[in-house]
Amino acid sequence: MKPLYLIAASALALTAAACGPKTPPARAALDCPLKQGDLMRTSAAPDGKACFYTTPEGAEVTLQLIPVAADGVDTTLANIETTLLANREAPAAEAVAAETSGAAAGESVASAAKAEAEARNDATGVEIRADAGGRVTVDGKVKIEGKDADAVNVELKGGKTVVTESADGKTRVTLPGIRIVADDANDTADVRVGPLRINAGEDGATIRIRRDVRLRGEAFNPEKRGVRATFIYTGGDLPDGYSYVGYEAGGPKRGPIAVAVVKSKSEQHDADDIASDIRRLVRKNGGV
């Protein structure tokens, strides 16, 4: 019977090896459908490394297959971000006047940023109330044990959430997985929740999300060999009348990665409308 055990053990070993994670082949060309939701393809590069889409609202989407830099995927993403934010310009006097009158696109961007900051402030209040046993409420003022305060510090000490009045006028929430700094004096907010980071101010907002993920077909692989990243910038200093720019990226960390660069002169809600369509394109081509 011993030979039978050896044969069975060998068979199991071979099966395990066959089921182990294999490095998927690098994508050589993009799969660019003629239509993806609200995205309509307008052209494609002959080498299959880029294709171009537009939306009914005028957003421009460029899907590209990009090799990863020698020093890693994060450097590659940082370079894309730098390119997107290049050539920003200080608002001219006429632009400021137009924004005041409501005619400039910058006004809608500032409004979106302000709404973002207000929403984050509301979220901060809920977090404080939940963790501080109902002692803190945010309603224009913050109440600590019945005392009004303009700003608070919320942190974990000795396993308990401690709420104290802030000495510098900034509200800070530092809890496991959450970090929020809100400054009413200059109307800014820096929010970090897991992989999400938001910097919001009077002139605009920057949103970044970066996560390690498993590649398609590697659901049981303990190693996350892929990456997904999102970047959005809104601001009145973008050139050529753009309201927002950004990218959605995904793919193996070794590359190449699929990157959809988005630019639009329409209002911010357009980004929300096409976000799911862009994600589908990137995930399909990035293999994540």
Domain range annotation of the chain: 43-88+206-288, 91-202
Angle at 93 (CA atoms; ends 92, 98), nearest 5 degrees: 95
List phi, psi (to 5°) of 12.
-65, -40
Quickly name the fold that domain 43-88+206-288 has. Protein Transport Mog1p; Chain A (3.40.1000)
Work out whether strand 39-44 and strand 196-201 pair parallel, antiparallel, or are unpaired: unpaired
156: confidence class by pLDDT, cuts 50, 70, 90: confident
Contact 81, 261 (CB under 8 A): no
Strand segments, DSSP code E, in 127-277 are 138-139, 141-144, 147-149, 152-157, 160-165, 170-175, 178-183, 188-193, 196-201, 204-213, 226-235, 244-252, 257-264
Residue 270 has pLDDT above 50, yes or no: yes
31 vs 174, more confident? 31
Q: What are phi and psi of 61, to 5 degrees?
A: -125, 125
Between residues 268 and 115, which one has the greater pLDDT? 268
Phi, psi (rounded to 5 degrees) for 170: -105, 135
Contact (CB, 8 A) for 284 and 31: yes
46-88 residue pLDDT tens: 999 999 999 998 899 999 999 999 999 999 999 999 999 998 8
Q: Provide the pLDDT for residue 193.
A: 85
Over residues 108-153, the pLDDT tens digits come to 444 444 444 444 444 444 334 434 443 444 444 555 555 666 677 7
